[in-house]
């Protein structure tokens, strides 16, 4: 079974092909970072227009990389949400149209399900059940994952997501968009001990997070200071330490509470080196396996969408002829594939070799 995956939920245009026998056979990504950098953040309308221009050539390139022709494709998976509605609509319209033209099933994939399943693209894939820490630009959550579509959220951010906190703090420090990776790089040359920021919610019971106060702590601590290079690096270092310590503390609590023996880390902030090191140490201490996708599959990509779509299509699920795009879509409303089985039109176009 060969599934074409398409991702356009925010500022990356991506296309990938996942083969049930050979694994990932092609993945292409075009980043809009230079387009948005001059505005200091993503401009939704520009994102949509750029997806329109880049998506078809990118799909073409991915098909060529895989040596695949339309007839080889068993189904098309696309990100149906959550995300920027205009950007989602571009991927959804193209995916649904290609599937229709090729007489193949299409399936709208939840972006966060893609992130959660991304570690399964690796040679050593995690087995269900596991605990997942999902840390992206829009979400911070701890979830138990019992199977495809069996997600229970046991902790979430009550305000800013971890990635959002990285991005906003980076902006305060005058770093260019996207701030997370830039702040992480700056933190490498920072010294610890000069600043002390809170470790939000660690002193309270429960598994929820809160990151908006950290941003305020940075504003207060730097008020009146000259933000020379070393000062900015010291702030970045302490900020990153505070976020990482908080995430690791909550993961430890969740692992002890659930008794799960595997921790999967997903989403853009999962690419953070300091976080990966500290979580690996936690894993060693608790005798828990800690697994991550490679850094390029932590941030947005189409490989994870092709894979999540493949898992659902292979289980017999597919959509009808509608174009699905949903800006807000809670992860815990998802169902396992069988419970959501194909509706009328979709089932007539069932996957060729599922
Ligand atoms: O998962 P993702 O690519 O997009 C969303 O679905 O949101 O995550 C993007 C977020 C951004 O906030 C970005 O600053 C952050 O992940 N990020 C990082 C790093 N790489 C990406 N944050 C900290 N350290 C990094 N190395
Ligand atoms: Zn994402």
What's residue 354's pLDDT?
Answer: 35
Three-state secondary structure string covering 247-260: HHHHHHHHHHHHCC
Q: Quick check: 347 pLDDT over 60?
A: no
94 against 347, higher pLDDT: 94
Q: Which ligand is nearest to the CA of 293?
A: 1
CA dihedral sign of residues 274, 204, 156, 222: negative
Question: What is the CA(203)–ligand 1 centre distance, in A?
Answer: 26
190, 269, 277, 300: which to mutate for ligand 1, most atoms within 8 A of CB? 269
Of all protein residues, the one whose alpha carbon is nearest to atom 21 of ligand 1 is 268
Question: What is the CA(295)–ligand 1 centre distance, in A?
Answer: 10
Q: CB under 6 Å to ligand 1: residues?
A: 10, 136-138, 163, 166-167, 178-181, 184, 267-269, 271-272, 299-300
Residue in the block written with tokens 């610890």: 192
Give the model confidence (pLDDT) of 95-150 as tens digits: 999 999 999 999 999 999 999 999 999 999 999 999 999 999 999 999 999 999 99
Q: Quick check: 350 pLDDT over 70?
A: no
User: Per-residue pLDDT averaged across 346-353, rounded?
Assistant: 39
- Closest ligand 1 atom to residue 139 Cα is 7
The residue among 92, 19, 8 whose CA lies nearest residue 50 is: 8
Give the model confidence (pLDDT) of 152-186 as tens digits: 999 999 999 999 999 999 999 999 988 999 999 99
Task: For the chain, give the percent of residues with pLDDT over 70.
Answer: 95
95-99, 263-267, 333-337, 350-354: which has the minimum mean pLDDT? 350-354
Q: Taking each helix axis as running N to C, give the angle between helix 273-286 and helix 179-187, from 0 to 180 degrees, rounded to the nearest 10.
A: 70
The residue among 120, 107, 71 whose CA lies nearest residue 353 is: 71
Q: Find the helix or strand (DSSP H, E) in which 234 lies.
A: helix 229-258
Contacts of 174 (CB under 8 A, 6+ apart): 227, 232
- Closest ligand 1 atom to residue 267 Cα is 1
User: Per-residue pLDDT averaged across 192-215, rounded?
Assistant: 94
Question: What is the CA(299)–ligand 1 centre distance, in A?
Answer: 6
What's residue 343's pLDDT?
Answer: 45
Of all protein residues, the one whose alpha carbon is nearest to atom 13 of ligand 1 is 180
How far apart, in Å, are the Cα atoms of 286 and each of 99, 127, 251, 272, 313? 46, 18, 11, 21, 36
**SS3 call for 3:** strand
119-133, 244-258, 310-324, 328-342: which has the minimum mean pLDDT? 328-342
User: Per-residue pLDDT averaged across 186-205, rounded?
Assistant: 95
Please, how many CA atoms are within 13 Å of residue 309, restricted to the half-sphere of its CB? 36
Q: Taking each helix axis as running N to C, give the angle between helix 229-258 and helix 273-286, from 0 to 180 degrees, rounded to the nearest 10.
A: 30
Q: Quick check: 233 pLDDT over 90?
A: yes
Q: Is residue 2 within 8 Å of residue 9, measured between CB atoms?
A: no
Q: Is the peptide bond before 82 cis (omega within 30 degrees of 0)?
A: yes
Q: Which ligand is nearest to the CA of 136?
A: 1
What's residue 339's pLDDT?
Answer: 52
How far apart, in Å, are the Cα atoms of 294 and each of 184, 266, 273, 342? 17, 10, 11, 32
* b/e map 69-98, b = 16+ CB within 10 Å: eeeebbbbbbbbbbbbbbbbbbbbbbbbeb
The residue among 33, 126, 27, 130 whose CA lies nearest residue 77 is: 27
Q: What is the DSSP annotation of 241-290?
A: HHHHHHHHHHHHHHHHHH--SEEEEESGGGG-HHHHHHHHHHHHHHT-EE
What's residue 346's pLDDT?
Answer: 37
Could you give phi then psi for residue 193, rounded to 5 degrees?
A: 105, -25
User: Per-residue pLDDT averaged across 276-292, rounded?
Assistant: 97
Mean pLDDT of the chain: 94
Question: What is the CA(300)–ligand 1 centre distance, in A?
Answer: 9
288/270 Cα distance (integer angstroms): 17
Q: Which ligand is nearest to the CA of 269?
A: 1
User: Per-residue pLDDT averaged across 35-55, rounded?
Assistant: 96
Question: What is the CA(320)–ligand 1 centre distance, in A?
Answer: 33
Q: What angle do CA 46, 107, 125 make, to 5 degrees?
A: 95
pTM of the predicted model as reported, rounded to 2 decimal places: 0.93
Q: What is the DSSP annotation of 181-228?
A: HHHHHHHTT--SSS-----TTTTSSSS-B--HHHHHHHHHHHTT----
User: Per-residue pLDDT averaged across 189-207, rounded?
Assistant: 94
Of all protein residues, the one whose alpha carbon is nearest to atom 3 of ligand 1 is 299
Q: Which ligand is nearest to the CA of 240?
A: 1
Give the model confidence (pLDDT) of 13-26 as tens digits: 999 999 999 999 99
Q: Return residues with CB closer than 5 A to ligand 2 (ion).
A: 136, 300
């Amino acid at each position: 079974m060969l599934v074409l995956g398409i991702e356009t939920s925010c500022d990356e245009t991506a296309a990938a092909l996942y083969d049930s026998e050979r694994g990932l056979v092609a993945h292409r990504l075009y980043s809009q970072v230079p387009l948005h950098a001059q505005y200091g953040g993503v401009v939704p309308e520009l994102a949509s227009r750029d997806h329109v221009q880049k998506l078809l050539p990118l799909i073409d390139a991915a098909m060529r990389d895989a040596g695949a022709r339309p007839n080889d494709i068993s189904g098309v998976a696309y990100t149906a949400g959550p995300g920027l509605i205009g950007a989602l609509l571009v991927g959804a319209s193209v995916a649904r149209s290609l599937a229709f033209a090729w007489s193949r099933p299409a399936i709208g994939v939840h972006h966060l399900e893609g992130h959660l399943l991304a570690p399964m693209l690796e040679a050593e894939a995690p087995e269900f059940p596991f605990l997942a820490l999902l840390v992206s630009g829009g979400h911070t959550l701890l979830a138990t994952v019992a199977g495809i579509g069996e997600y229970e959220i046991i902790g979430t951010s009550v305000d800013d997501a971890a990635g959002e906190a990285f991005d906003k703090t980076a902006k305060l420090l005058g770093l260019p968009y996207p701030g997370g990776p830039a702040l992480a790089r700056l933190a490498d040359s920072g010294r610890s001990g000069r600043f002390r920021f809170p470790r939000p919610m660690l002193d309270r019971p429960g598994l929820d997070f809160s990151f908006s106060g950290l941003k305020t702590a940075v504003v207060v601590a730097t008020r009146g200071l000259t933000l020379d290079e070393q000062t900015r690096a010291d702030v970045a270092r302490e900020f990153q330490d505070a976020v990482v310590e908080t995430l690791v503390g909550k993961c430890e609590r969740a692992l002890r509470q659930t008794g799960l023996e595997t921790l999967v880390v997903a989403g853009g902030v999962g690419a953070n080196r300091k976080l990966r090191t500290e979580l690996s140490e936690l894993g060693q201490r608790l005798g828990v396996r800690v697994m991550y996708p490679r850094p390029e599959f932590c941030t947005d990509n189409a490989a994870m969408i092709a894979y999540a779509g493949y898992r659902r299509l292979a289980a017999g699920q597919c959509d009808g002829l509608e174009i699905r795009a949903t800006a807000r879509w809670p992860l815990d409303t998802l169902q396992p594939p069988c419970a959501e089985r194909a509706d009328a039109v979709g089932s007539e176009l069932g996957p060729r070799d599922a």
